Amino acid sequence: MRFAIVTALMLSISPALASAQTAQQAPPPAPNTMSRQELRDEVTQQRAIIQGRAVRPQRPAGCVSPESRQFDFWLGEWDVSPSGSTSGVTVAESSITLTDQGCVIIEHWRPFGGGHGHSINMFDATDQKWHQTWADANGSRTEFSGVLDSEGVLRLDNLGPSAQGQSPGRRRMNFQRIDDRTVRQWGEVFDDAAQTWNVEWDFTYRRRAGTQ
């Protein structure tokens, strides 16, 4: 589980888009309603497609809604350090890439002192939430889900059980853009007695020089 790895390191589509993506092209007119020239043009085009073994692409629109672009600030090549560290220590590298026509964000997490991991992230227009599935070299898998709040923080609730050795409790992971070259990521655990969220681990991502 990521929280176990991170703790060890610290101690060491909108409805409109969905409609657009599922909409089908209008069917062609019936042959008996087409002019001679229209029929000739269609036969010529179909012959070229058949003879050339070609296709006519009908690609989906991809994810273009404002909501599906909320996490783009995380894209890039990053060096990761404990937040507040003044020693210049880097504990991990992270590559965040966009794929599947802009609908999926893939994380490649490479800590220097622990198992590597990946996450797949996407905005689901059905429930209007971000979802993340995390899997790592320890054989762990964790699900997260959440939204971007009014303060510009993407808060993802940990939907899985507490990892072995962790105190029980609700946990969440947070992402915040600081500026074009800096992102903060931190984890919190909820204190039921005090009814407060307490920071459990805290990282700063700094964009690697010469990358975007």
Tell me the pTM. Answer: 0.74
Q: What whole-number distance in Å separates Cα of residue 163 and Cα of residue 192?
A: 18
Q: Which residue has the higher pLDDT, 19 or 82?
A: 82
Q: What whole-number distance in Å separates Cα of residue 17 and Cα of residue 37?
A: 36
- Per-residue pLDDT of 40-71, as tens digits, reads 888 888 888 888 877 777 778 889 999 999 99
For domain 2-17+63-207, which CATH number applies: 2.60.40.10, 1.10.630.10, 2.40.128.20, 3.30.830.10? 2.40.128.20
Q: What whole-number distance in Å separates Cα of residue 212 and Cα of residue 207?
A: 7
CB atoms within 10 A of CB 101: 13
- Per-residue pLDDT of 168-204, as tens digits, reads 789 999 999 999 999 999 999 999 999 999 999 999 9
pLDDT of residue 11: 53
pLDDT of residue 2: 63
Tokens found for residue 120: 């797949």
Q: Which residue has the higher pLDDT, 31 or 3?
A: 31
Tokens found for residue 162: 């507490």
Minimum mean pLDDT among 101-110, 132-141, 160-169: which range? 160-169
Q: What is the dihedral of CA 140, 146, 148, 149, to 10 degrees?
A: -120
- Per-residue pLDDT of 77-121, as tens digits, reads 999 999 988 778 999 999 999 999 999 999 999 999 889 999 999
How do strand 92-99 and strand 182-191 relate by DSSP bridges? Answer: unpaired
pLDDT at 17 over 70: no
82: closest CA among 10, 11, 153? 10
